[in-house]
Structure 1
Amino acid sequence: MMPTLFLIPTVLAPETAFSVLSPQVRDVISRTDVFFAENLRTTRRFISELKTGRKIEDLTFFELHKDTPVADTRRQIAELKQSGRDAGVISEAGCPGIADPGAVAARLAHEAGMQVAPLSGPSSILLTLMGSGFNGQSFAFSGYLPIDRNERATAIRQLEKKALSGQTQVFMETPYRNNALLEDLVNVCQPTTLLCIGSQLTAPDEFVSTQRIAQWRNSRPDLHKKPTIFALGTF
């Protein structure tokens, strides 16, 4: 039987596994003993919190982050295929493969002839889009905007232009720079442009709100160190 690479979602917020993740996630983890992990420490903790009965010391973990050599992952995938063993990919948060190095493992698994099985789970990108009220038929995710403020202002203007043409534009920032990005958005965008902010998604203090830039200028939430997704769009 062909081995399978499972793309396993994890939580976006602490202590939400049993309320957010499907029983399928726990079932797959309970019968898988090889994992590609973006962060070994948090992945081990996540598996332990699911209380599957598996001993962490009996599992095999391979690091898979942005600096992991592709050759290492290719060799590990090839060995799994040859031995007929299933494996799982677990991201730092949310769904692996979406704005995440897990995409490398999925690509290499396809090349090796393994089955690839994505499991359903929380994605901050899609949750923000769902809650925004914006066009969900045509949208683009641009990841992180430039750090340089002049370059970022140019990027924001380009995203705003695309959003006003009808294609929703979704993007993000490193949590400790969220407030700086919001500052640039309210200063660069037109007052009537609509901005959605999705922050702390699935957590008890979850926040999703769509307002015009003029409104955000008068009431800016503190997003410092809070995982947040931004979207520009139209109603």
Structure 2
Amino acid sequence: MSAKDAASEENGTLYLVATPIGNLEDLSPRALRILKEVDLVAAEDTRHSRKLFNHYGISTPLTSYFQHNEVTKGEQLLQTLQEGKDVALISDAGTPAISDPGCLLVQRCHEVGVPVSAIPGPSALIAALAMAGLPTERFAFEGFLPAKTHARCQALRLLRQELRTTVFYEAPHRLAAALQDVLTELGEERQVAVVRELTKVHEELFRGTAAEACEHFSGKVRGEIVLLIGPAEQSTPEESVRDALRRWRKETDLPMREIVKQVAKIYGLSGSEVYRESLALRDEEE
């Protein structure tokens, strides 16, 4: 047995426990058992998690672990795990470490040989994707869209030729602006879905074009939002690869390396082929 394997046996286990995203009945029996059996539960917001604990009669000690103490508190939790105690990590809702704190702690556990185990369960992005009716064979999760209009438009512009369904989380007070930018950058006929208040009493699923979504969500919106953007319609590019490189460089602030990657995806070419075209473009302009 290696030293790392021996150390692993002496350590506790970090459990990544998925918790309800709205309906408290969605906590699995296994997740409930783990939350009751571990020595400590690290929660994104202990006040929020206390409601879940009170509902199920969980008396395990809680400690806070959130974005602004992620590094320092993570090391404290790692020490607890290395003392042989089991720790469960939960977020406010859904699966921890997915667009929530936890990734750094998981990395540190792997570095020092602390076992990590996932307790699957609710995930807003997977639930929304499954019910939206957009293509699911290939998809990309991009977290939250940028809050600023210019940066948001830049991010959306990259999806003009995207052949996968793209999933975002969005704040309710920014949804109308985000949808308007989708319409501007991707066209009014681009298919979108908006899933609001998943698993809750006022759960809503909207499916339609970007133009229809803008009209539907023109007023005040409340609740947790998942925004899904359908893939672009496949068509044969009308401009040459070199012209596409020139246009992307003019219209975006992206480095040429990223532009090459995006153009290669659109044209179905290898990155090396498009890179050679970028070198030819540079020589041509010099």
- Under a length normalisation based on structure 1, what TM-score does the superposition of the two structures give? 0.85
- Equivalent in the alignment of 2:28: 22
**1:83-137 deviation line (CA, Å, top 9, x unaligned):** 2111100101111010011222222222221211111111111111112222323
Q: What CA distance in whole angstroms lies between the structure 2 residues aligned with 1:3 and 1:204?
A: 39
Q: Are positions 1:224 and 2:230 aligned together?
A: no
**Ranges of 4+ aligned residues in structure 1 off by more than 6 Å:** none
Question: Relative to 1, partners in 2 of residues 1:223 and 1:74: Cα closer, same or farther, differing over 3 Å?
Answer: farther
2:16 paired residue number: 7
Choose between structure 1 and 2 for higher RCO, CA contacts under 8 A separated by at least 6 residues: 1
Distance apart, 1:67 and its partner CA: 1.0
Q: Secondary structure at the match of 1:68?
A: helix
Partner residue in 2 for 1:141? 141
After superposing the two structures, state which structure 1 stretch, 169-178 or 33-42, moved more.
Answer: 169-178
Asked if structure 2 preserves the Cα contact closer than 8 Å seen for 1:139 and 1:170, the reply is yes
The structure-2 alpha-carbon separation of the partners of 1:218 and 1:43, relative to structure 1 and needing over 3 Å to count, comes to closer
**Cα distance between partner residues in 1 of 2:103 and 2:220:** 28
Give ranges in structure 2 of 5+ residues lacking alignment: 1-8, 234-286
Aligned with 1:204 (options 197, 201, 209): 201
Q: Is the 8 A contact 1:200 1:227 kept in 2?
A: yes
Q: Which residue of 1 aligns with 2:42?
A: 36
User: How many angstroms does 1:69 deviate by?
Assistant: 4.7
* Conserved? CA contact 1:6–1:88, under 8 Å: yes
In the alignment, structure 1 segments of 5+ residues that lack a partner are none
Counterpart in the other structure of 1:80: 81
In 2, are the aligned partners of 1:78 and 1:112 still within 8 Å (CA)?
A: no
| 2: CA distance, partners of 1:191 / 1:182 | 10
Please state whether the residue corresponding to 1:106 is helix, strand or coil: helix
Contact in 1 for aligned 2:14/2:81 (Cα 8 Å): no
- Aligned equivalents of 1:194 and 1:10: distance in 2? 30
1:49 correspondence with 2:55: yes
Task: Give TM-score, length-normalised by structure 2.
Answer: 0.71
Please, what is the CA RMSD of the aligned residues? 2.1
